[in-house]
Structure 1
Amino acid sequence: MSEVFHPRESVYNLITEEKVQTQKPPRYISKFRPMVALEKKLAKDAMRTMGPAKVEVPVPDNYLKKHSKEPKLPEKSQSLKVAHSTCTVKKPAVPTKTERPPMGIHTKRNFIKTTTAVPMKPQPTSVDSNKGHKQCLDNSGLVPKYIKKKDYGEVPEYLQQRNGEKQRAQEEYDKFLKEQKEQGAVKQLSDFERQAVLEGLKKNWDELHHDYQGLSLVINTLSKKARKERLEAAMKQLENDINVFERYKTIYIPNN
């Protein structure tokens, strides 16, 4: 048997429901609609044919003629034509070579000055590149213009002043040595003594150099680093002393 579905029974189903009809608002219509429709109709009616509706029909006599579009020059006025045609004055003839010029007439141009003027010489230049770069010869340094100076070959003043100060210092030093000799405070080393001192300095340098060569290649401690710096300073001092004894032949030492 087929089952029959019965809706759920309720007291509220006995009450009839009123159907509420919703009313839509009237559709919006612009007040300019008739004007727009009229304008559109007029614009369409005006261009229904090919091209504008009313065109000026050309006249048969107004056809395109030959040379009608070429530019034309303005016509000359009648006054210019008359001025050119009425000129009857002739210029004087060119004087011959036998005629003498009139005396006492001054002109704007001085012919004597122009005929006797010296022609301008070209400025000397020097070309210093294969592309044609040139410059004035005086500024190039190739012209020995400095030998034409008045003080050429003279010693400058600052060198004279320096030489004078050096000479005065040497004179004062010689005077001081002379006074020390007279007082017996210093004595001069003989060549034998100077040579003996020089050999002793070199021997000491050889010993220090031998110790320096015996240092280890890897210096990773403070004591090794200090010993290396001490040997280098002693060797530098001995080298300066050796240079002094080899350079100067006359050496003075205090007389103790």
Structure 2
Amino acid sequence: MAESIYNLLPEIKEETVKPPMYKATFDHSRKVPYSTFDQRKAKGGMFGIKEGKRSTEPRHFLRVGEGTEARRRAGKRPELPKIVHGLGGSGGGAARSGSSAGWASRGPTGMKRGLQLLPARMKPPVPRRGERPTMGLHSAKNFVTSNAVETILAVPANRRRPPIDYLKKEDFGRVPDYLAQVQAEVRAENEMVEEFVREQMGISAIAKEEIPEMPSEEQAELVDKLKAKWDDVNCR
């Protein structure tokens, strides 16, 4: 450090004040909510440490089928035939205890079955050295005649209908007939409604013919009078 007059001043040591000790709001002595690790094993416990064991070794934990509920369910399950792993017959694979014929006729629960669950051989065996394929077979069948008979007796296939070409139809570009029928029905309904309204108002077609038509001179005179009355009323 370089020489300075401030080096003659005594140094004041600042005491570090420790903050208060942190205390979590969660109480560690209380049980964790919705946890079953610190309580007695329930009736249907399926995982965790076995009942009565306090060791954390893996061999003391429950495994598949060792729970109370699992053991109860296991007592109701049907016993399946044991599977003996190894060569079963000449085809190899896994063989079941007992005869293959009994297994093909009856299932694991003792019920009769029509299909064999596991075949005796997954694939055909390798031919032996002395085996030879059957050769020299001849047939007396007349394939030409048989093919002709099959073709004659065969059911003809359904032919697809060609798509309709609307441009080549006879009534293309014309007004459809059903539109004329609809228009006639609409006109008939309108006439019926008009006649009903006339009957309600007391004016029939016969009375309309009997009423004389007002002459044009009388009509013009009536209009002039109405205009004069209108001016007289609105000028006040």
Provide the TM-score with structure 1 as the length reference: 0.25
Q: Which of 1 and 2 has greater Rg?
A: 1
Higher relative CO (CA 8 A, sep ≥ 6), structure 1 or 2?
1
Provide the TM-score with structure 2 as the length reference: 0.26
